[in-house]
Amino acid sequence: MNNLILIKYGELTTKKSNRNTFIKLLATNIKKILTDEEFNIKFDRVRMYIECNNVNSVIEKLKNVFGIHGIVICHKVNTNIEDIKQKVLELLIKENFESFKINTRRADKSFEVHSMELNNIIGGYILKNIKSRVDVHNPDILVTIEIRVEGTFIYTNEIKGLGGYPVGIQGKGMLMLSGGIDSPVAGYLSLKRGVDLECLYFESPPHTSLEAKNKVIKLASIINSYSGNIKVNVVPFTKLQEAIYKNVPDSYVITIMRRMMYRIAEKLSIKNNCKVIINGESIGQVASQTLTSMGVINSVTNFPVIRPVACMDKLEIIEISKKIKTYETSILPYEDCCTIFLPTHPVINPDMNKCLNYEMSFNYEQLINECIENIEVITNLKQQEFNDLL
Ligand code: ATP
Ligand code: MG
């Protein structure tokens, strides 16, 4: 394998006591995302190195891994001045720049030339061979030379990593995933903070179509490229939803329906070891997302709920959804169970007692249990296999 990539850790370096756990999990996550590649991985407390053949495709995949701060393609040479000089020249001659800086780090103190001295030797050699100047404060190009026991590593440009924490370090959350714009973004933001995901989708066939379900699966497969572990629980919601429409006045159907969704999300989270429910609610966006509505809906559970996009404007959410490539799928026009039979005047300040009374008029607990018993679980969400789903 003739390429070497160096991974710089992100925010995890601040968590001193958990450092080893973080690094090991990051390595596991990287291995998972590189299953189709030939590679070797080595790591210590400071850095991680990946040897591979297909450097470009490996780097594209590493760009999707949370917990990576920077990615650099390293060039390994023997630790002697002549080899270092030649390699730095070979790298810089391909670049377009006016100023540069050489930054040597001498981790292997047995190498007799000190850092400053090596900076001068290599810098002088470059000045002699390439028309340029040294700028130590704001160089166009920074050349880093790391003298280590196993050899000398030379690199120039650093590719920015995603940052965040390794996925799974916080355990798992249950993402309520609809086909809209907001919930996939909420999922992505949770993954970024180290929360792995399981998804929960409520479908109401024949009122909702197979396309609507496939759209959700495709969205899950896109966010799965940041995790590798995601599965989708498809909940058959038709009977419960029909019972709600039969027993509850029009203006309250959405409120009651969402209270049922939360009840099911709680039960499934406990069953499947998820520590938190996650959804794409955003304050004030629709009638069920006023603070009063959110309070009345949330009151059915004590389970923690996070709403990563709660305080974002729609345009900010759209910007993220474009960046993470869920937007094009999210805007496909398939009906969700929240949008079918939408009442003309959904209540925006629902009354808790009314909700409790309406709910007493039918046996929803039995229907909730049926929903959970009949869940369809979809796994193996490799993104490329779902590209043509819609
Ligand atoms: P989104 O753009 O994510 O669909 P939205 O603005 O359309 O959100 P709602 O339809 O009120 O808002 O839904 C709010 C949140 O409830 C969604 O972001 C999602 O987390 C969850 N949700 C709604 N419908 C479903 C569903 N059919 N299955 C699972 N979760 C759902
Ligand atoms: Mg929606």
- In whole angstroms, what is the distance from residue 27 CA to residue 208 CA? 41
For residue 50, give every residue at least 6 positions away whose Cβ sits within 8 Å of its Cβ, in sequence order, or none. Answer: 4, 5, 7, 30, 34, 39, 40, 41, 58, 62
- Which numbered ligand comes closest to the C-alpha of 184? 1
- Which numbered ligand comes closest to the C-alpha of 261? 1
The pLDDT assigned to 2 comes to: 72
Centroid of ligand 1 to alpha carbon of 347 (angstroms): 17
223: tokens are: 């966010």
Centroid of ligand 2 to alpha carbon of 217 (angstroms): 14
pTM of the model as a whole: 0.88
- Which numbered ligand comes closest to the C-alpha of 205? 1
- Which numbered ligand comes closest to the C-alpha of 186? 1
The pLDDT assigned to 87 comes to: 96
Mean pLDDT in each 10-residue stretch from start to end of the chain (390 residues)?
Answer: 84 69 94 91 89 92 94 92 96 95 95 95 97 96 93 90 94 97 98 97 94 95 92 97 96 97 98 98 91 96 98 97 97 79 88 97 97 96 71
* Torsional sign, CA 133, 137, 141, 143: positive
The pLDDT assigned to 228 comes to: 87
Architecture of domain 3-160: 2-Layer Sandwich (3.30)
44: tokens are: 């210590």
Ligand 1 atom showing the smallest separation from residue 200 Cα: 29
Ligand 1 atom showing the smallest separation from residue 330 Cα: 2
Give me the torsion for CA of 342, 346, 351, 356, rounded to 10°: -10
Q: Which residue minimizes the CA distance to atom 25 of ligand 1?
A: 178
Strand stretches in 47-98, DSSP E: 47-52, 68-77
The pLDDT assigned to 304 comes to: 98
Enclosing H/E stretch for 198: strand 196-203
Ligand 1 atom showing the smallest separation from residue 286 Cα: 11
Q: Is residue 251 lining ligand 1, measured as CB closer than 6 Å?
A: no
Mutate to test the pocket of ligand 1, among 178, 208, 266 (most ligand atoms within 8 A of CB): 178
Centroid of ligand 2 to alpha carbon of 273 (angstroms): 25
Q: Is residue 212 lining ligand 1, measured as CB closer than 6 Å?
A: no
The pLDDT assigned to 169 comes to: 94
CB-CB contact of 257 with 360 (8 Å): no
Could you give the 3-state DSSP secondary structure of residue 124?
helix
On the question of a common fold for 3-160 and 172-386, the answer reads no
List, as one string, the DSSP characters of 123-135: HHHHHHHSS-EE-
The highest-level CATH class for domain 172-386 is: alpha beta
- Which numbered ligand comes closest to the C-alpha of 342? 1
330: tokens are: 């999210």
What's the angle, vertex CA 189, arms to CA 226 and CA 231, rounded to 5? 50
Q: Counting every residue, how long is the chain?
A: 390
Q: How far is CA 287 from the centre of its chain?
A: 29
Q: Is residue 188 lining ligand 1, measured as CB closer than 6 Å?
A: no
How, if at all, do strands 68-77 and 3-9 pair? antiparallel
Q: Which residue minimizes the CA distance to atom 14 of ligand 1?
A: 281
Q: Is residue 265 lining ligand 1, measured as CB closer than 6 Å?
A: no
Q: Is residue 255 lining ligand 1, measured as CB closer than 6 Å?
A: no
Centroid of ligand 2 to alpha carbon of 289 (angstroms): 12
How many CB atoms sit inside 10 A of residue 296's CB?
Answer: 24
β-partners of residue 68 are 9, 163
Would you kindly state where each structural domain of the chain is located, as residue ranges? 3-160, 172-386
Enclosing H/E stretch for 378: strand 376-378
Q: Is residue 223 lining ligand 1, measured as CB closer than 6 Å?
A: no
How, if at all, do strands 99-106 and 133-134 pair? parallel
Centroid of ligand 2 to alpha carbon of 147 (angstroms): 54
The pLDDT assigned to 116 comes to: 96
CB-CB contact of 197 with 175 (8 Å): yes
Q: Is residue 216 lining ligand 1, measured as CB closer than 6 Å?
A: no
- In whole angstroms, what is the distance from residue 215 CA to residue 209 CA? 10
* Closest C-alpha among 313, 289, 63 to residue 181: 313
CB-CB contact of 253 with 314 (8 Å): no
Q: Is residue 201 lining ligand 1, measured as CB closer than 6 Å?
A: yes
